[in-house]
């Protein structure tokens, strides 16, 4: 049986355009951190599909050069809020 090595928590800065379509990442909404996926890469912007706690999705458009940092294997879109995503992550409806 093979064991995977432990993932080190390192922060590596990159840009949003470096991630492929379908990549999952964390984004900051007005009130909390949410999961998102890259759905379209255009000439000027990237379209993200964001999940909301109500079960619906909405789209965000961000600049191609938006900064993303990697925390281990997890990409996080840099926002203006200084809070940590672990303290304010959105809880989704777990009934489904």
Q: How many CA atoms lie within 13 A of 6 on its CB side?
A: 2
Question: Are 47 and 37 in contact, with CB atoms under 8 Å apart?
Answer: no
CA angle 74, 15, 81 (to 5 degrees): 70
Domain range for 56 is: 11-77
Element housing 31 (H / E): none
pLDDT string in tens for the chain (96-residue length): 444 344 444 566 788 889 999 999 989 888 888 889 999 999 999 999 998 887 788 999 999 988 998 888 889 888 776 677 777 777 665 554
The verdict on residue 3 lying in a domain is no
What's the pTM?
A: 0.75
The verdict on residue 60 lying in a domain is yes
The verdict on residue 35 lying in a domain is yes
The verdict on residue 58 lying in a domain is yes
Reduce the DSSP state of residue 67 to 3 states and report it: strand
Distance CA 21, CA 80 (A): 24
């Amino acid at each position: 049986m093979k064991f995977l090595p432990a993932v080190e928590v390192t922060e590596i800065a990159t840009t949003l355009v470096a991630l492929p379509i379908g990549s999952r990442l964390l984004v900051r909404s007005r009130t909390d951190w949410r999961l998102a996926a890259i759905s379209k890469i255009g000439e000027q912007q990237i379209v993200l599909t964001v999940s909301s706690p109500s079960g619906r999705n909405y789209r965000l458009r961000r600049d191609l050069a938006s900064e993303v940092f990697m925390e281990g294997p997890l990409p996080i879109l840099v926002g203006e809020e200084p809070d940590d995503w672990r303290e304010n992550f959105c809880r989704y409806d777990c009934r489904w």
